[in-house]
């Protein structure tokens, strides 16, 4: 999912407020809406062993919080945080983390990921797999209701899945997440005005059967993505293009108020099938502001730590130190993307020259004080399929110059103009893109222009492959399987392959991995494909996420920082 990978720039430039396409995309000029600003700064931090113990009572583990004296967790209260206006609240259109972070709380599907990233029952109470791994039969829970009280049936799921695939919906990710279901591609392509999929069969009001085109180990995980969420047909049809203004969902919260650029309020869904959310409301400030000041004034309950406040909050004699918590890294990667159909990026040697010309180690040490993790692969450390055997293109100035001279674009006079597009609204570009620009210029004499466009427009242009090159972008995993990175982002026919990269060997390997039942062999296939992609320089990988710091009010209990976006707000409670 496309995610906002700008934690670096924010920490370098100022104390930031809390802000990764389909696996969620993220932009680089602002951090995730309520994620911590990560420890990528220009000021050294103490080593892990030298750091003081940080608020052990607030660790994000089950024993971190405790109910009141009665032993019961209290209902009520409001959780307040900073966020950004989402490009969409339609689950079937979600491609970014800003939207997904809200959508997963209002809507839901058959299954979901829990805080351990395990697939768990959601609206389906159970499921079975047969047909050699190609037939999935789900049984819904009894007496399910939408937030307006309407019953939820398998017919609603059938309609929703087919609606997501219909050309009129214009989902940029329906093919990615639902295309395994037999007949979905025919709906997406609009061939013969097909509106129903043969692979979706309603057995009765509580039983639905899905047939897929091969035994794919990751299919069930894909069903946790918002594209597979159920919608209320009457709500969508009655509301037209603005139906999400009064959205009817099945998640733990409902949208109570949304004023663009000002604030969004979620309220407890009293018709939620399971244990109701403890909170009365979640209030999201959309108007911006100085996050640290807002936190200290009790205007928000969570914030990242900006560079100006880093030393202060780590001082154990400071009151704020009691609120400080370490946060594990996201399963994400930031990168600069190339459209390989567009000159000069259609020349592999030119792309390789650009990769070799970027000294990530020097940037990490001198710009970010050793607190970023340079990315030489695609799959993040700690993620299924990560391999230390993968060899990326490390800084080699002589090789970079040689490859540039061997490319078709050695002559700067005839070289096409290069524009790198990033999300933004006219402020300073992210430091990561700026330092790459400077290194290309100084090391190779390759000049680029940086163009900023508004986030929603950026996503639209990216999904329609309109960009020559792009930065300020990250890819955050949607589910723990290497297919979510290697196949979705680089298969030649994937809708998530925004740079039109195509290599028959990569296609062959990921197609084989799709149905490979041996887990070890599956990973080997993805690793082989990853190495080819890196050798081809389809991207310029930049940074992997690292451990970070955040401040969380002591009265906020059971807030979980997770490396993937999942529904989690219903578990928060307030204890003052």
- What is 516-566 written as a DSSP string? ---HHHHHHHHHHHHHHHHHHTSEEEEEE---EEEEE-TTEES----SS--
Collapsed DSSP state (helix, strand, coil) of residue 113: strand
> What's the pLDDT score for residue 371?
66
Reported as half-sphere exposure (CB side, CA atoms, 13 A), residue 358 has a value of: 26
Considering 241, 267, 293, which residue would you say is the last residue of a domain? 241
Reported as half-sphere exposure (CB side, CA atoms, 13 A), residue 424 has a value of: 23
127 exposed, middle or buried (CB, 10 Å; 0-12, 13-18, 19+)? Answer: middle
Tell me how far apart the terminal alpha carbons of the chain are, to the nearest angstrom: 36
Residues 350 and 492 reside in one and the same domain: yes
268 in any annotated domain:
no
Q: Are 88 and 164 in contact (CB under 8 A)?
A: no
Across the beta sheet with 200-204, the strand order is 124-130, 135-140, 207-211, 200-204
> What's the pLDDT score for residue 170?
95
Residues 411 and 535 reside in one and the same domain: yes
Residues 377 and 515 reside in one and the same domain: yes
227 in any annotated domain:
yes
| Rg from Cα positions in the chain | 23
Considering 188, 214, 241, which residue would you say is the last residue of a domain? 241
Domains in the chain: how many in total? 2
Q: Are 471 and 423 in contact (CB under 8 A)?
A: no
Mean pLDDT by 10 residues, the chain (576 residues): 52 30 44 38 26 32 48 93 96 95 98 95 98 98 98 98 97 96 95 90 98 97 98 97 97 98 98 98 95 96 84 93 92 95 98 97 78 91 96 97 98 97 82 90 97 92 94 92 97 96 98 96 98 98 88 97 95 96
347 in any annotated domain:
yes
Which domain, by its residues, includes 354?
Answer: 332-544
DSSP letter (8 states) at residue 366:
I
Using H for helix, E for strand and C for coil, what is the string for 203-266? EECCEEEEEECCCCCCHHHHCCCHHHCCCCHHHHHHHHHHHHHHCCCCCCEEEEEEECCCEEEE
533 in any annotated domain:
yes
Q: What is the CATH number of the domain that holds 424?
A: 3.10.105.10
Considering 180, 211, 241, which residue would you say is the last residue of a domain? 241
389 in any annotated domain:
yes
Residues 204 and 350 reside in one and the same domain: no
Q: What is the CATH number of the domain that holds 193?
A: 3.90.76.10
Token pair 């971190």 in the structure block, residue: 64
Collapsed DSSP state (helix, strand, coil) of residue 98: helix
Q: Are 392 and 541 in contact (CB under 8 A)?
A: yes
> What's the pLDDT score for residue 471?
92
Determine how many CB atoms are found less than 10 A away from the CB of residue 60: 17
Residues 223 and 341 reside in one and the same domain: no
Residues 196 and 345 reside in one and the same domain: no
Residues 232 and 360 reside in one and the same domain: no
Question: Which tokens sit at 181?
Answer: 């279901």
Residues 202 and 336 reside in one and the same domain: no
17 in any annotated domain:
no
> What's the pLDDT score for residue 473?
81
How much is the pTM? 0.88
> What's the pLDDT score for residue 546?
85
94 in any annotated domain:
no
Determine how many CB atoms are found less than 10 A away from the CB of residue 280: 15
Residues 236 and 343 reside in one and the same domain: no
Q: Are 83 and 18 in contact (CB under 8 A)?
A: yes
> What's the pLDDT score for residue 278?
98
Residues 222 and 336 reside in one and the same domain: no
210 in any annotated domain:
yes
> What's the pLDDT score for residue 362?
87
Residues 389 and 513 reside in one and the same domain: yes
Residues 339 and 480 reside in one and the same domain: yes
């Amino acid at each position: 999912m496309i995610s906002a990978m700008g934690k670096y720039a924010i920490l370098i430039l100022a104390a930031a407020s809390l802000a990764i396409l389909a696996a969620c995309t993220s932009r680089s000029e602002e951090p995730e809406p309520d994620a911590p600003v990560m420890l990528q700064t220009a000021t050294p931090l103490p080593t892990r062993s030298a750091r003081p113990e940080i608020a052990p009572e607030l660790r994000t583990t089950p024993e971190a919080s405790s109910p009141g004296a009665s032993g019961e967790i209290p209902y009520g209260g409001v959780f307040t945080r900073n966020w950004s206006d989402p490009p969409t609240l339609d689950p079937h259109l979600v491609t970014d983390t800003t939207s997904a972070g809200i959508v997963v709380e209002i809507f839901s599907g058959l299954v979901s990921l829990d805080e351990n990233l395990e697939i768990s029952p959601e609206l389906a109470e159970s499921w079975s797999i047969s047909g050699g791994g190609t037939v999935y039969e789900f049984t819904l829970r009894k007496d399910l209701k939408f937030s307006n009280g309407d019953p939820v049936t398998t017919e609603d799921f059938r309609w929703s899945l087919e609606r997501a695939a219909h050309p009129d919906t214009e989902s940029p990710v329906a093919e990615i997440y639902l295309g395994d279901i037999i007949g979905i591609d025919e709906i997406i392509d609009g061939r013969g005005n097909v509106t129903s999929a043969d692979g979706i069969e309603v057995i009765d009001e509580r039983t639905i059967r899905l047939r897929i085109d091969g035994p794919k180990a990751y299919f069930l995980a894909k069903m946790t993505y918002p594209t597979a969420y159920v919608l209320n047909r009457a709500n969508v049809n009655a509301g037209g293009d603005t139906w999400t203004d009064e959205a009817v969902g099945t998640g733990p919260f409902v949208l109570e108020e949304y004023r663009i650029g000002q604030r969004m309020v979620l309220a407890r869904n009293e018709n939620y099938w399971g244990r109701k959310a403890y909170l009365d409301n979640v209030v999201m400030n959309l108007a911006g502001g100085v996050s640290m000041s807002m936190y200290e004034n009790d205007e928000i309950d969570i914030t990242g730590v900006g560079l100006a406040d880093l030393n202060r909050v780590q001082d154990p004699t400071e009151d704020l130190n009691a609120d400080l918590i370490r946060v594990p890294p996201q399963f994400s990667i930031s990168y600069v993307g190339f459209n390989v159909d567009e000159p000069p990026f259609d020349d592999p040697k030119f792309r390789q020259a650009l990769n070799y010309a970027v000294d990530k180690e020097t940037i990490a040490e001198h710009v970010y004080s050793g607190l970023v993790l340079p990315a030489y692969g695609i799959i993040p450390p700690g993620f299924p399929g990560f391999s230390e055997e993968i060899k990326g293109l490390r800084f080699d100035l002589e090789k970079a110059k040689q490859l540039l001279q061997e490319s078709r674009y050695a002559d700067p006079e005839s070289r096409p103009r290069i524009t790198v597009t990033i999300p933004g609204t006219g402020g300073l570009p992210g430091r990561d893109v700026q330092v790459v620009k400077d290194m290309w210029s100084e090391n190779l004499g390759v000049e680029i222009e940086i163009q900023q466009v508004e986030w929603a427009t950026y996503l639209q242009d990216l999904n329609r492959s309109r960009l020559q090159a792009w930065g300020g972008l990250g890819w955050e995993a949607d589910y723990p399987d290497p297919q979510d990175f290697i196949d979705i982002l680089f298969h030649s026919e994937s809708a998530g392959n925004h740079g039109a990269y195509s290599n028959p060997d990569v296609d062959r390997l990921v197609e084989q991995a799709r149905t490979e039942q041996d887990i070890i062999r599956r990973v080997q296939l993805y690793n082989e494909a990853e190495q080819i992609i890196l050798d081809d320089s389809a991207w310029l990988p930049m940074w992997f996420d690292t451990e970070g710091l955040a401040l969380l009010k002591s009265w906020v209990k059971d807030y979980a920082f997770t490396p993937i976006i999942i529904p989690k707000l219903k578990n928060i409670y307030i204890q003052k």
